[in-house]
Amino acid sequence: MSNFNFCYRIVPCLADPARRSSLGLKAALVALHLVYAGILFLFDSDLIEKTKEEPWYTAIYLLLFVVALIQYFVTSCSSPGYVLDAMRDVNEKKSLYRRSSMLSKQPASSKSGSFVITVEGSQSEINTQGSNITSWTKLVLDMYPPGTSIRTLTCSYCNAEQPPRAKHCHDCDKCVLQFDHHCVWLGTCIGRGNHCQFWWYIFEETALCLWTGILYITYLKANILRVWYSIFLKSLFLFL
């Protein structure tokens, strides 16, 4: 147990079971890619000879291999776009706008004197907070038909108003904007923030899998024919 605690101190992210499983899944997927590609380049003599004759062929394959892995990590580490983050951004922008408008009304000095506008701190904070909440609620309500109740739009887990197509993910325990699904292989949700990256990864991974499958079929077909031809000749020799 002390060894585990020592490891958790060195790498704090390993203390979280969800982070541990996510890191383990990423390591397993990278190892799977390396094993499947490594078998080809170690045992396929035809591919090795083709690499010597046409190095560009193997270079393109390895480039696709590296790009697919990079896109995998980019997609898995990207944020899908959470409702709470969007709400926080709207509130911060509204707060900055109110502060700038209040500063623009601050003392106007002249030769004859200065005019100072005083605002009570508690009252301004209450108004700012109220305007922040109202701004997000109004922004969400404008996306729905008139007469929609705000209670039907509020998430029972996050307590936040959900825009259209937003949904609460029970794996991430957060509401996701334009929720598509929770990808187990990536360890994250697919939403508005990483939808484009996800489709690029799917395209690159599909191309890599098809190319690798064709190489394996070619390798197995050639070796199976050689083995069966050898067995046929031996059987014919023994029969004769």
From 158, 172, 175, 183, the catalytic residue: 183
Type of residue at 53: E
For this structure, is 183 an active site residue?
A: yes
Q: Answer whether 161's CB lies under 8 Å from 136's CB.
A: yes
Structure tokens at 52: 């010597």
Q: Answer whether 37's CB lies under 8 Å from 65's CB.
A: yes
DSSP string, 104-126: HTS-EEETTEEE-----HHHHHH
Q: Answer whether 46's CB lies under 8 Å from 218's CB.
A: yes
| Residues 75, 203: Cα–Cα separation, whole Å | 13
Which ranges constitute the DSSP H helices of the chain? Answer: 2-10, 17-43, 45-53, 55-77, 83-104, 121-141, 195-239
Pairing of strands 181-183, 108-110: unpaired
- In degrees, rounded to 5, the angle at the alpha carbon of residue 221 between the alpha carbons of residues 218 and 226 is 125
Signed CA dihedral, 30, 32, 33, 35: sign only: positive
Residues catalogued as catalytic: 183
